């Protein structure tokens, strides 16, 4: 059992939790993930390490409430425990030798992008960040990004905050302003990452994407998270989750991501009803 | 005492095939006390005990059977327990026909003694009737870590605990048991029985640390350094599934057998209340012919598939699965499509599996494994309508341990290299056994390796002290 030390609502649908897990806190690196089961009968879901405090022995997770399991997780409060918390899993983001990088985050993906941006900044790398949200009320981590970015662009789809538009528009503007990036690191919805990679290709820039397929064990024993990368089958949980953006088959990944959609809709409804009953 | 000279084994009662193929309850129901005593009397107590030499953990088989024949079931249990900590499991899943029962003298002319069934009876009887806690052995003050709570690790842990070692088992998943929990289905091995065997080890003082992925959260060097373990046993198995690399393998509805069985067994997706989803269509093709393929096929049938095919590239004679499992599968209505191999999986408009194209095979000369090599018949491609495909082509060791343990020698298949059957690796104090060394094999071979390594670890630590 792993105690929830702190719980903060970052916006109406995104929650941050600080979890007591000293062994994981000691080893975690930006880009790695953990597997969580809120309760004894819950599904196993992957969540990326959003931060860690090695001295305090805690690991941060930030999650969007999108379905049954994230609703279960969000029903827990400070002082409660999550039943299982496994990690750190996957490979860390490779940051060595980078001099100037653009980090592009979308929605809750910004929570994953933040520790990478922070690590690059601490290494003395010049960090430009582009973060995108649907609207102002979904904005998260702006101050945190500002603290570790040499330049920050905030985009909203509806223009309710920052600049109206998508993240690729801001990225193109930065490139056109003469910024030469060693690498573009992008984390967010698959469709966003696909278009960030396309934009990078247009300018001959290298890109790294953090993939988010369906996972069960997260240790390489089932292949549920497999992706086609450069024509080869890779397991995102052990070979990734970071991959070379130019090599990933995004269309296949997007198709695989929808496999359990009807089941998930049902689970979400069931969890909703259950939580409503508890409120009464 | 009079021997029972019946040429045949006392049959094991089983659930009716047309009832059991719709539920996940255990297929084989076990002997009654009368059946067990009667079967035990078929043992003629050979002096040289060939059966014992066929048992990978060397149980005194005539010794325990004699006690069963006398009706002293607890004494029989104590005889088995000296050599095996997990008899309720072995009695159910061992391929006895190629081990103890394969060597039974009665089996030369007639059917061998039902050793596995008797072992199972004794273990079940003990579990249901004896509730005195096991004797906790006196501590010898030494610490050993076991990596992986599958059959190899559980056996090594049990044996070391009996010798007085303080043992901690590190397990990556949220429950201990390895393949006994995530792989073998409930209808062959009830999980409550596995859990009780594990609880028995806990009562003997073995500690279990779940959710611990060794190689990630801790390394072997840390276990042997700051954590103070004097020896480590690696029983991390061979969990990495193989795929065929044919077109369409990434479609929705294509599973590895490991994923399908993990969802069904470990995450309980077979229960309507489970929060973990599983996709089972109307027609399912399971590619492969081993025990895992049989488990996946029989699970798919129970999950509601109307037609389940085993697609295997050799013939019925070469199926690597246990004969009993193949018979059970056939009785339940699994359709065997032998001498054919998939070449492509075809999609529907929504990116799910619609059909599978196979090519017919014929058998040529025997290959290195002694089995006749399958050869494709040109132009014989045909298409089967299926909406789920489960790949059961075998597994390899997971790279996590070898990639994080400097100096640990592995071969080109990723298996840990051991100097002898005792499991000593290229790293001093690090022992290994089970599928991590051999690649995918059987539960009992893993138990045998765990037992041999426990003995070697004991000798190593005593020699050092």
What is the ipTM for the molecules in this complex? 0.90
| Distance (Å) of CA B232 to CA A223, B169, B204, B429, B453 | 28, 10, 19, 6, 10
Q: For residue range B251-304, what is the model confidence (pLDDT) as tens digits?
A: 999 999 999 999 999 999 988 888 999 999 899 999 999 999 999 999 999 999
Across the interface, which of A27, A222, A256 has its CB nearest the CB of B217?
A27
Across the interface, which of A87, A224, A228 has its CB nearest the CB of B259?
A224
pTM of the model: 0.92
**What secondary structure, in 3-state letters, does B409-452 show?**
CECCCCCECCCCCCCECCCCCEEECCHHHHCCCCHHHHHHHHHH
Between B444 and A65, residue with greater pLDDT = A65
Q: Is A44 within 8 Å of B250 when comparing Cβ atoms?
A: no
Q: What is the pLDDT of residue B443?
A: 86
Q: Is A222 within 8 Å of B172 when comparing Cβ atoms?
A: no
Q: Is A223 within 8 Å of B256 when comparing Cβ atoms?
A: yes
What whole-number distance in Å separates Cα of residue B454 and Cα of residue A216?
32
Q: Which residue in chain B is spatially nearest to A238 when comparing CA positions? A: B400
What whole-number distance in Å separates Cα of residue B189 and Cα of residue B327?
17
Using a CB-CB cut-off of 8 Å, the residues of chain B touching A233 are 243, 245, 249-250
Is A27 an 8 Å CB contact of chain B?
A: yes
| Distance (Å) of CA A210 to CA A92, A224, A244 | 11, 17, 9
Question: Annotated binding residues of A, as ranges?
Answer: 62-64, 222, 225, 237
Q: Indicate the pLDDT class of residue B80, thresholds 50, 70 and 90.
A: very high
Mean pLDDT of chain B: 93
- The yes-or-no verdict on residue B172 having pLDDT over 90 is yes
What whole-number distance in Å separates Cα of residue A190 and Cα of residue A227?
13
Is the Cβ–Cβ distance between B136 and B205 less than 8 Å? yes
CB contacts under 8 A, B 273-332 vs A, are 273-277, 279
Report which of A176, A133, A177, A171 is spatially closest to residue A155, judged by C-alpha positions.
A133
Is the Cβ–Cβ distance between A90 and A237 less than 8 Å? yes
Is B392 an 8 Å CB contact of chain A?
A: no
B380 in helix, strand or coil?
A: coil
Q: What is the pLDDT of residue B326?
A: 94
Q: Which residue in chain B is spatially nearest to A33 when comparing CA positions? A: B216
CA dihedral B250, B253, B255, B261 (to 10 degrees): 160
DSSP string, B321-344: S-HHHHHHHHHHTPEEEESEEEEE
Q: What is the pLDDT of residue A277?
A: 57
CA-based end-to-end distance of chain B = 50
Cβ atoms within 10 Å, residue B222: 16
What whole-number distance in Å separates Cα of residue B273 and Cα of residue B261?
17
Taking 3-state DSSP, the helix, strand and coil percentages for chain A, each rounded to the nearest 5, stand at: 35, 30, 35
Q: Which two tokens stand for residue B268?
A: 């309980």
Q: For residue range B355-371, what is the model confidence (pLDDT) as tens digits?
A: 999 999 999 988 877 77
Q: Which residues share a beta bridge with B356?
A: B345, B384
Q: What is the pLDDT of residue A56?
A: 97
Q: What is the pLDDT of residue B213?
A: 95
Mean pLDDT confidence for A46-52: 93
Q: Indicate the pLDDT class of residue A280, thresholds 50, 70 and 90.
A: very low
What whole-number distance in Å separates Cα of residue B282 and Cα of residue B148?
36
Q: What is the pLDDT of residue B31?
A: 96
Report which of B426, B440, B434 is spatially closest to residue B454, judged by C-alpha positions.
B434
Is the Cβ–Cβ distance between B218 and A22 less than 8 Å? no
Q: Indicate the pLDDT class of residue A98, thresholds 50, 70 and 90.
A: very high
Q: For residue range A108-148, what is the model confidence (pLDDT) as tens digits?
A: 999 989 999 999 999 999 999 999 999 999 999 999 999 99
Q: What is the pLDDT of residue A264?
A: 80
Q: Is A238 within 8 Å of B243 when comparing Cβ atoms?
A: no
Q: For residue range A202-253, what is the model confidence (pLDDT) as tens digits?
A: 999 999 999 999 999 999 899 999 999 999 999 999 998 999 999 999 999 9
Is the Cβ–Cβ distance between B68 and B91 less than 8 Å? no
A209 in helix, strand or coil?
A: strand
Q: Is B250 within 8 Å of A24 when comparing Cβ atoms?
A: no
């Amino acid at each position: 059992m792993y105690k929830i030390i702190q719980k903060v609502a970052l916006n109406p649908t995104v929650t941050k939790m600080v979890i007591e897990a000293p062994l994981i806190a000691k080893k975690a690196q930006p880009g790695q993930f953990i597997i969580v089961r809120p309760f004894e009968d819950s599904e196993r879901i992957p969540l990326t390490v959003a931060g860690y405090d090695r001295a305090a022995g805690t690991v941060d997770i930030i999650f969007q409430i999108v379905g049954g399991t994230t609703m279960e997780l969000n029903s827990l409060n400070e002082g409660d425990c999550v039943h299982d918390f496994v990690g750190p899993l996957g490979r860390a983001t490779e940051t060595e030798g980078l001099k100037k990088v653009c980090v592009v985050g979308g929605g809750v993906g910004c929570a994953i992008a933040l520790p990478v941006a922070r690590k690059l900044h601490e290494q003395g790398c010049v960090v430009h960040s582009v973060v995108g949200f649907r609207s102002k009320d979904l904005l998260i981590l702006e101050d945190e990004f500002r603290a570790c970015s040499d330049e920050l662009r905030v985009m909203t789809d509806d223009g309710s905050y920052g600049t109206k538009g998508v993240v690729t528009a801001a990225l193109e503007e930065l490139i056109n302003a003469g910024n030469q990036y060693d690498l573009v690191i992008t984390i967010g919805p698959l469709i966003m990452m696909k278009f960030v990679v396309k934009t990078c290709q247009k300018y001959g820039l290298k890109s790294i994407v953090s993939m988010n397929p369906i996972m069960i064990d997260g240790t390489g024993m089932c292949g549920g998270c497999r992706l086609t990368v450069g024509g080869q089958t890779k397991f995102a949980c052990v070979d990734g989750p970071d991959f070379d953006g130019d090599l990933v088959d995004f269309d296949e990944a997007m198709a695989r991501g929808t496999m359990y959609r009807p089941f998930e809709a049902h689970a979400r409804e069931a969890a909703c009803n259950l939580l409503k009953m508890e409120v009464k | 005492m009079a021997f029972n000279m019946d040429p045949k084994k006392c049959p094991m009662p089983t659930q009716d095939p047309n009832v059991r193929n719709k539920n996940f309850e255990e297929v084989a129901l076990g002997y009654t006390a009368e059946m067990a005593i009667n079967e035990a009397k078929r043992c003629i107590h050979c002096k040289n005990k060939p059966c014992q030499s066929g048992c990978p953990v060397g149980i005194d088989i005539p010794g325990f059977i004699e006690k069963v024949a006398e009706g002293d079931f607890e004494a029989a249990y104590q005889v088995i327990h000296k050599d095996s900590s997990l008899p309720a499991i072995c009695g159910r899943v061992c391929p006895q026909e190629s081990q103890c029962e394969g060597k039974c003298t009665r089996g030369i002319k007639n059917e061998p003694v039902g050793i596995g069934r008797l072992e199972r009876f004794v273990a079940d009887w003990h579990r249901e009737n004896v509730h005195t806690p096991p004797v906790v052995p006196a501590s010898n003050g030494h610490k050993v870590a076991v990596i992986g709570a599958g059959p190899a690790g559980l056996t090594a842990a049990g044996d070391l605990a009996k010798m007085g070692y303080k043992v901690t088992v590190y397990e990556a998943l949220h429950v201990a048991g390895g393949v006994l929990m995530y792989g073998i289905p409930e209808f062959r091995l009830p999980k409550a029985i596995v859990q009780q065997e594990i609880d028995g080890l806990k009562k003997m003082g073995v500690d279990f640390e779940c959710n611990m992925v060794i190689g990630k959260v801790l390394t072997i060097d840390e276990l042997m350094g700051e954590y103070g373990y004097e020896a480590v046993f690696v029983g991390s198995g061979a969990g990495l599934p193989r795929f065929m690399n044919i077109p369409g393998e990434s479609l929705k509805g294509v599973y590895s057998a490991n994923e399908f069985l993990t969802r069904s067994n470990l995450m309980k997706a077979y229960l309507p209340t489970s929060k973990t989803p599983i996709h089972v269509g109307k027609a399912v093709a399971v590619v492969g012919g081993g025990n895992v393929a049989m488990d996946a096929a029989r699970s798919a049938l129970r999950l509601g598939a109307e037609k389940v095919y085993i697609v295997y590239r050799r013939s019925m004679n070469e199926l690597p699965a246990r004969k009993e499992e193949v018979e059970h599968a056939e009785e339940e209505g699994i359709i065997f499509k032998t001498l054919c191999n998939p070449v492509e999986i075809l999609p529907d408009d929504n990116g799910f599996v619609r059909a599978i194209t196979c090519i017919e095979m014929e058998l040529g000369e025997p290959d290195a494994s002694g089995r006749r090599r399958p050869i494709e018949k040109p132009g014989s491609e045909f298409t089967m309508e299926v909406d789920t495909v489960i790949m059961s082509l075998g597994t390899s060791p997971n790279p996590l341990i070898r990639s994080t343990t400097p100096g640990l020698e592995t071969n080109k298949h990723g298996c840990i290299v051991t100097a002898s059957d005792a499991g000593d690796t290229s790293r001093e104090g690090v022992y290994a056994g089970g599928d991590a060394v051999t690649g995918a094999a059987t539960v009992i071979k893993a138990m045998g390796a765990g037992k041999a390594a426990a003995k070697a670890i004991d000798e190593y630590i005593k020699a050092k002290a």
